[in-house]
Amino acid sequence: MPLLFIGGLHRSGTTLLGRLLAANPEVSSLTDTGMVEDEGQFLQDCYPSDVVYGGAGRFGLDSRAHMTEASPLATAGTAERLLAAWSPYWQGDATWTLEKSPANLIRSRFLQALYPDARFIFITRHPVAVALAVRKWTRTSIYPLIHHWLHCHRLLREDLPSIRSYCLLSYEQLSAAPEETLQTLCRYLDLEPHALPIEVKSGINAAYFKQWADGYGGGAGGRDLTELFDPRLSARKSMKDRLAKAKDRRVYKLVERWLGPGRYNVSLARRDAEDAVAMFEEEINGFGYSLLDLDRRPDAAAAGERSAA
């Protein structure tokens, strides 16, 4: 059976997407594993899980987490061992066997080297929503979390030309049009469409956007966010030079401003947000999102198909 891998940063919708697809009788997902969210990365010992590299909001900044066909682990033996670890948790004789782990976002080339016929579905979500959703787990400031989002999606973009078959969609698209999006995915997998098995809520980012505007923007009060963040920040060379020197894990030491539970500091939070806007807004726009125009999102699912080399 061909493998289907789902990847996307923590809190980007990978679990929801996996459940929607697993409702199709021709898709078998890892079930009753006893592991967090039934993620296959925790059922095997062939390669390190994302927890080894710092977990949510951090793992992608460790260069070892980005795995490609050049990895010494990309062998037939590894492929066999992974199947042996996962197979007991796949149910029935389905067309597709599904494995879902967040770090698949940046190790698809490695997985493709193991399983050349595999397909991949990648899901993205607004960087503000992702950063604020995982902040409670990481106890880091907003700047490095948005930096992590951008870095991982850069790696994905660099990897996609090497992936033979993939589908890329956004969580925002899925929540706005769940039935249509599910049908698109079924067509991609050559499956008969099936009914939506669970409710997919709309407006999923609203609470995080309010927190971004009120807690980081200083209180929107109905004003445009561009009025809340100093437009001169992008020209503040000393600040940009300071931030540009932050590399990989050093970024946490540079901008760590979280003061501990119960000591949330609004002025420092706004400084982090301003830094993130100044450094990342333009590049994040290239992925279909904006830290200032929160309604901006990728328009539609994108798919890539190319013949095996």
Domain boundaries, the chain: 3-203+297-305, 206-285
- Whether pLDDT at 222 is above 70: no
Its sign, for the CA torsion 223, 225, 226, 229, is: positive
Residue type present at position 304: G
pLDDT at 257: 43
Mean local confidence (pLDDT), 42-48: 96
Name the residue among 122, 148, 126 with its Cα closest to residue 137.
148
Higher pLDDT residue, 166 or 303?
A: 166
pTM reported for the whole predicted model = 0.87
The CATH T-level fold of domain 3-203+297-305 is Rossmann fold (3.40.50)
- Whether pLDDT at 189 is above 60: yes
Model pLDDT for residues 82-95, shown as the tens digit of each residue:
999 999 999 878 99
**DSSP single-letter state for residue 214:** I
Higher pLDDT residue, 203 or 150?
A: 150
The band of 276, judged by pLDDT with boundaries at 50, 70 and 90, is: confident
- Whether pLDDT at 72 is above 70: yes
CA distance 185 to 169: 9
Residue with tokens 């939070």: 269
The band of 297, judged by pLDDT with boundaries at 50, 70 and 90, is: confident
Mean local confidence (pLDDT), 27-40: 94
The side-by-side arrangement of strands in the sheet containing 27-29 is 27-29, 96-100, 3-7, 119-124, 165-170, 302-305
Mean local confidence (pLDDT), 154-180: 96
pLDDT averaged over every residue in the chain: 85
Query: Would you call 24 helix, strand, or coil by DSSP?
Result: coil
The mean-pLDDT minimum among 71-75, 168-172, 240-244, 274-278 falls in 240-244
Higher pLDDT residue, 136 or 61?
A: 61
Give the contacts of 58 (CB within 8 A, at least 6 positions apart).
138, 140, 144, 148, 252
The mean-pLDDT minimum among 23-27, 241-245, 276-280 falls in 241-245
Higher pLDDT residue, 116 or 257?
A: 116
Give the contacts of 227 (CB within 8 A, at least 6 positions apart).
none
CA distance 203 to 1: 37
The mean-pLDDT minimum among 21-25, 89-93, 152-156, 218-222 falls in 218-222
The tokens for 223 are: 């004003």
- Whether pLDDT at 255 is above 50: no
Q: Residue 100 to residues 7, 57, 120, 190, 233: CA-CA distances in angstroms?
A: 6, 17, 10, 19, 39
Give, to the nearest 10 degrees, the angle between helix 237-244 and helix 266-285: 80
- Whether pLDDT at 237 is above 80: no
Mean local confidence (pLDDT), 163-188: 95
CB half-sphere exposure, 60, CA atoms < 13 A = 25
